[in-house]
Amino acid sequence: MHRITGKAGGDSLIEMSPSDSFNDDINGYHQNASASAGSFQQGQSESPLTPDVCVETCESLNTSLASLAPSDHSDSPHFEDQTLERINALTGLARKRALFLKFRSRIDKQQHSKDSVFFRDGLRRIDFVLSYVDDKDGERKQERRKVYEANLVNVGLELETEDKSESEDGKTYFVKIHAPWEVLATYADVLKIKVPFKANDIPDTKEMPMNWLSTPFRLPEHVMHPEPDYFTAPFNKSKTDFFLIDDKDTFFPPSVRNRIVFYILSRCSYYRDECADKDKKGIKRLLNNGTYTAAFPLHDCRYTTRSRDANCESERYNLYKHWARFFCFFKEQPLNLIRKYYGEKIGIYFAWLGFYTEMLLFAAVVGTICFIYGFLTYDDNEWSKEICNPDTGGKIIMCPLCDKKCGYWKLNSTCNSSWQSHLFDNVATVFFAIFMGIWVTLFLEFWKRRQARLEYEWDLVDFEEEQQQLQLRPEYETKCTNRKLNRITQEMEPYLPITSKCARSCLSGATVLLWISLIIACIIGVIAYRLAVYAAFASIMKDNPTSHLQVVGPYITPQLATSVTASCINFVIIMILNLMYERVAVWITDMEIPKTHMEYENKLTVKMFLFQFVNYYSSCFYVAFFKGKFVGYPGKYEYMFGSKLRNEECDPGGCLIELTTQLVIVMTGKQVWGNIQEALVPWLMNWWGSRKARNHPESLYSRWEQDHDLQGFGQLGLFYEYLEMVIQFGFITLFVASFPLAPLLALFNNIIEVRVDAWKLTTQFRRPVAAKAHSIGAWQEILNGMAVLSVVTNAFIVAFTSDMIPRLVYMYAYQPDGEMNMKGYINNSLSVFNISEIRLANRPDDGESPSWFNSSITTCRYRDYRYPPGHEKQYSHTMQFWHILAAKLAFIIIMEHVVFLVKFFVAWMIPDVPTEVRARIKRERYLVQEYLHNYEVEKLKIQLSQNGHNDCTCTPMIYPSIKHEVLSECL
């Protein structure tokens, strides 16, 4: 093997000498015929097979005709041609039966099944599959395939094509790709893939206390496949004897093999050398323009049965049996097996999701206890008793809830909502808000430690720099035609001019702002709906017309009816905007042409999260911090933007119950819809594939044909999984003070989510291309930001949305009897208004008197702390109002400082990298230097001994203490 062109991560690939890397007879492509593979495929689609073409096909596929008896003519070229003509002339069930008989005879003779993961010789593994349909108008596509596959062969890959007549639909070709050792070794060197060079000699001293308690949750040893612990170093092709290579065929696992092949496919061109258009490269562009219909690696076996081939693994079967089934929800996840089969990026996601679910268990337990406390103290709720008491709440006449149409109403009509509010608005709410502020810190700090351990165990230390330097996006390489000198590598590399980058960034930012403005406009529309419908509900419910509903009727109030309907409408708007914005976000991110895969994901992450944050949380922010805060008072109400819509008031029991309703509907609706969408659609796809599998023999409906029908999980699929979980994380942290059961709902959802994602990935989708990632990326910083914001939001919810602070101020400072109880709180919290003093001119209507203006009722009550009529400061805020406001601000300051101090102390106490992991990393780096030094010294000794010191008259001086330099006068 020798390099003709190319550099690490550059524009061109490394060409391989066919004589060095593979044998022409084994490869399946002649040197003079490999470049004409596309013309052969074109000929198949235009006319029936000729004997000459069939001979070429049989030779290229290296079939086992030599094992057949000489008198057997069933696979002769002329007989094969006649057979294909007769089969193609048939239709319907007759054609399918003929195909089945043809395949059965071939399998019987060649002992080869299309269900195998090997080429027809049974030796070379299928590392990747390309599929295409050769349509009549596809001359340009045929030419692209011809050149592209010839270039793949020049790079060193080995190809084998399955004819369309052997496919289930009779239209699809499958090009199977194998990467020989020379190719794998070359690109493992280019990508700096870490491989073992020495067994780990550091004893594992970590012991889990009370380890026996976790035994029921563990998977057996034969499933986990614990591998020996090795020290690893980046692979170097020139030093293969330095590494622990027992078998070259299995040295690189399938996930690494398909990652290397995809790296080649993404950078291989489909233009001829004489063509001036250098922009034509990469399998993604060939998929976009329809040249190929799919490109994917194979699963190693069917998930329902073990592999029949003794040389092939059954990892997919093990993953399905012990991980992807729902009844394994209480078992640990086989993370090492997931990483080995799907790659580190997917492994990190499931490690994070599993750890997040485990930590949710503690939050769910504490939240449930707080809810039970509210339920057990149900009878101690003095203010609800006063509201429901006919002698107290039944005699308090409240001011109308809207202008003109609404009448007076009695306070005891809100009895049920007051009791419901107590379940979430009690002393335990304050404790739980503080607890969640500490919990989120522990979660993030312990995850950093878990992530650091995985980074070391999965050889991901220092991976970020490698990814930035070596794994440029093919789209960036092709679209950036300008070149500049890299000062570090001293090589010419593509770059995007600063003017173009600024213009693209401005357009992208403007697009994001436009969509965020659209969300805000929709929220304002929902608020307007709330105001209008609130007035309507208040007017029709003034005489309690819902009493005939028996059980449901008494529980329906204008506030509840408005909140529920508005939340449902808001949820529908959220889902619609999400579907529209997802495509826009991908489009504008592609337009920016990010340089690396990490940069691409980070840009897409920021755009999608900003949009989702505003989309999902804006309605909750409105209910928590704006509703009921700008109402005014009777005779001087505040109106929305000068319209006739009066701003909403909070229920006498507080706005917290409405925030709870909003949170439950949006959060639960999102989770239910997400699970239905994730499980139902793949299940229907699987059902369709299973139906075809039942109607056709297994050998005919092969696994790589079945995979061709399924959509891949893909990196964007993983991105959306992260996004869904981060949005859920926001619900259980930003607004958890209003709903302590949110972590419990999230826990149930995540238990299902882990198994649904595992089932979907293992059974429904193609095997994704393995990718490396050393962390959860930009999501880590987003989680940190939300953790800080959650302390602020929960402090404000307890202070301004809940009635906790006004109750405490009343109990300690304004209780008339000087007792530590809440008697008289309701009467104290309601102000009095004189109906005769109303000024209709201040209302933005026609000044017409409402129907209740001439009523015999002279005064009404409203929720506020203002002086009564007749006082020298009538209708202005009382001193109690300012005391309550000062107490709210003091609570916010104290809670934030306490929680932040605990957060910083916990973060300081818990190191991000465990001590033993740090020691192992240092030990590995030391051994790499030492072993490489000794390796070079030994090679030098051998070289000098072979040369016989003919050109040297001095004694070589080797200094073992110097690790990086070998000093000798002979060099």
Burial class (CB in 10 A: 0-12, 13-18, 19+), 17: middle
> Mean pLDDT across the chain, nearest whole number?
75
Residue 157 pLDDT exceeds 90: yes
Q: Which pLDDT score, from 0 to 100, does residue 969 have?
A: 32
For residues 680 and 810, the model is more confident at 810
- Report, as an integer, the average pLDDT of 614-641: 84
Alpha-carbon span 945 to 939, nearest angstrom? 10
- Report whether pLDDT(369) > 50: yes
Reported as a pLDDT band with limits 50, 70 and 90, residue 288 is confident
When mean pLDDT is compared across 374-378, 583-587, 639-643, 812-816, the lowest value belongs to 639-643
List CB contacts of 108: < 8 A, sequence separation 6 or more. Answer: none
pLDDT in tens, 768-798: 888 888 888 889 999 999 999 999 999 999 8
Measured distance CA(585)–CA(69) in Å, rounded: 62
pLDDT for 471 beyond 70: no
Q: Among 307-311, 792-796, 877-881, where is mean pLDDT lowest?
A: 307-311
Instruction: Classify residue 585 as exposed, middle or buried by CB count within 10 Å of its CB (0-12, 13-18, 19+).
Output: buried
Question: Of residues 380 and 6, which shows the higher confidence score?
Answer: 380
Say what the pTM is: 0.80
46 or 329: whose pLDDT is higher?
329
The mean per-residue pLDDT over the stretch 88-109 comes to 56
Q: Residue 191: which residues within 8 A CB-CB, separation 6 or more?
A: 259, 260, 263, 466, 470, 471
d(CA 614, CA 621): 10
CA distance 920 to 922: 5
Q: Which one of 197-206, 355-364, 567-576 scores highest in mean pLDDT?
A: 355-364
User: Is the model's pLDDT at 962 over the cut of 80?
Assistant: no
Which phi and psi angles does 933 have, rounded to 5°?
A: -60, -50
pLDDT in tens, 651-705: 666 678 888 888 888 888 888 887 777 766 666 655 555 554 444 333 333 555 5
When mean pLDDT is compared across 10-19, 225-234, 346-355, the lowest value belongs to 10-19
pLDDT band at 190 (very low <50, low <70, confident <90, very high): confident
Given this model, what pLDDT does residue 24 score? 38
- Each residue of 214-237: pLDDT tens digit? 666 777 766 666 677 788 888 888
Q: Look at residue 707 in the predicted model and tell me its pLDDT.
A: 58
What's the rounded Cα separation, in Å, for the pair 297 and 355?
29
Main-chain dihedrals φ then ψ at residue 946, nearest 5 degrees:
-70, -35
pLDDT above 90 covers a percentage of the chain that reads 14
Please report which confidence band the pLDDT of residue 880 belongs to, taking 50, 70 and 90 as the band edges.
Answer: very high
Split at pLDDT 50, 70, 90, the class of 957 is: very low
Residues above pLDDT 70, as percent of the chain: 72
* pLDDT confidence of residue 19: 43
The confidence score (pLDDT) of residue 953 equals 47
Confidence check: pLDDT of 956 > 50:
no
- Better pLDDT: 572 or 136: 572
HEC profile of 195-224: EEEEECCCCCCCCCCCHHHHHHHCCCHHHH
Q: Of 321, 358, 439, which Cα lies nearest the Cα of 758?
A: 321
Residue 203: both structure tokens together? 């004893």
pLDDT at residue 907 is higher than 50: yes
Taken in order 764, 765, 770, 775, the sign of the CA dihedral is: negative
> Per-residue pLDDT for 20 more than 80?
no
